[in-house]
Structure formats: structure tokens, C-alpha cells
A and B are shown apart, each in its own frame.
Chain A
Amino acid sequence: MPSFDNIVIWTGFALFVLMIPALWRVIKGPTAIDRIVAVNVIGTKTAVLLVVIGQKFQKVEMFVDFALAYALLNFIGSLAASRFLQKSPCERQESKGAATES
């Protein structure tokens, strides 16, 4: 039976490997919001990875705070990005008007 220390290391490694498809989506993604979603996924994985690192160094009580702060920043970041990309109603009216004129 493997010790829990090995399990922690392999969990961290698996999390790191699973970030690669999300990174591929960031590079390739056809729309801007696709990229933001992938960055959001990577951010959530990083918050979990911080807990894993804390368990490896036997200092979970310190790394828990980092993970919480990172999750909060990730949430604020994705909300700000979605607000930034959302068209306002008057902007939409303008684009509709331009489409009908041309």
C-alpha cells in the first residue's frame, strides 16, 4: 500500500497534467470567452494545487489561506472579464442599426 505522501505527489502531478488541455484551449479557443473559461478552469485547479502543496510540506494551515485568496481572485477576475465582454443595451442597438442600414 503506497503511503499518503506518494498519493499527494501523484495528485499534484495529475492536476498539473490536466492543466495542459485547458492551456491548449487558451491558445486555440475560437472566441475570447472560450479563453476566459479555460483560464478560469486553470485558476480553480491552481487553488486546489496550493492545498496539495501545503499537504506535501506539512503546512496546510499556511497554504489554506493562499488557496482561499487565489479562489477569490479567480472569481473576481472571471466576473470582471465577463462584464467587460458583455455588450451594453445601447451598444447592441447601435450594432443592430448599423446592420440594418448596410
Chain B
Amino acid sequence: MIQETIITIISTLLILCGLIFFLGAAVGLLRFPDFYTRMHAAGKGDTLSSFLVVLGFAVYQLHDFKFTEAGFKENWWVLLLILKLIGICAFIMITSPTSTHALMNAGWEDDIEPELKHKDANELEKDYPRK
């Protein structure tokens, strides 16, 4: 009983953190002024929040797991399930920044101009030439 309470509290906290980051990503996607800043909000917020929510559900799978030999023999598949959920976490952590980078690169080479306060976009092009 006490194990279930502790596990529930931990996983709820993880899920709530994830939802807060999702909220940040959504607000950023809605309100930022140009393409690159919106990309920044979407890429970072989405990665961390998916990671946290899925990790919360992975932790919750342990709620009725008994840490004895009989428990391991009966419920070994729960550990496999947790491994799969952590696999989803790792997959999202690798692929989401990769796709963000690819889309950002495509946007830069597709002549989308950033909103700059001090620098000129042509000056930026000297440092990061479009192919």
C-alpha cells in the first residue's frame, strides 16, 4: 500500500512537469514572432515533455510489483514493459532534435528571413552560407 502511494506520487509529479513543459511549447508555438524562434520552442519543449510524461508512466508500472523472488518470477514482463517505455523515451530524445535540425536547415536554405534587431541577414549569411 505504501509502495503504491509513493509510486503514484512520483509518477504524478513527473507527468505534471511534462504537461507544464507541453504548455510552454504550445504557447511558444502560438506566440513567437518568426520561424526560428517558433522552432526553438517546439523542438525543446516537445522533447523534454514527452520524455517526462512517458517516464512517469514507466514509473507507474511498478505500482503492484513485488520485489521478491516469487514476484520477479510472476511479473518479469513488467520489467520488459518498463524497458520498452524507456526505449520510447530514448527514441524521442534522439529523433526529435534530429528532425528539428533537419527542418531548421531546410528553412534556412529555403530563404526564410529571421527577425533580427541589430544584425543584417546578409551579414549572417557570411558566417552561415546557404549552399
Q: Are B95 and A55 closer than 8 Å at their CB atoms?
A: no
Alpha-carbon distance A72/B131, docked complex (angstroms): 29
B interface, size bucket: 35 or more
Alpha-carbon distance A87/B46, docked complex (angstroms): 27
Q: Are A21 and B29 closer than 8 Å at their CB atoms?
A: yes
Partner pick for A41 among B23, B25, B112, CB 8 A cutoff:
B25
Q: How many residues of A contact B (CB 8 A)?
A: 45
User: Is residue A57 within 8 Å, beta carbon to beta carbon, of the partner chain?
Assistant: no
Give chain B nearest CB distance to A51 CB in angstroms. 5
User: Is residue B99 within 8 Å, beta carbon to beta carbon, of the partner chain?
Assistant: yes
Return chain B residues, CB-CB under 8 Å to A82.
Answer: 99, 102-103, 105-106
Return chain A residues, CB-CB under 8 Å to B42.
Answer: 37-38, 40-41
Alpha-carbon distance A41/B85, docked complex (angstroms): 19
Partner pick for A36 among B25, B60, B103, CB 8 A cutoff:
B103
Give chain B nearest CB distance to A87 CB in angstroms. 6
Binary interface profile of A, 1-40, with partner B (CB < 8 Å = 1, else 0)? 0001001000100110010011011000011011011101
Please name the residue on chain B nearest to A75 by beta carbon. B95
User: Is residue B114 within 8 Å, beta carbon to beta carbon, of the partner chain?
Assistant: no
10 intermolecular pairs with C-beta atoms under 8 Å apart: A4-B63, A7-B15, A18-B19, A18-B23, A38-B29, A47-B88, A48-B53, A68-B87, A82-B102, A82-B105
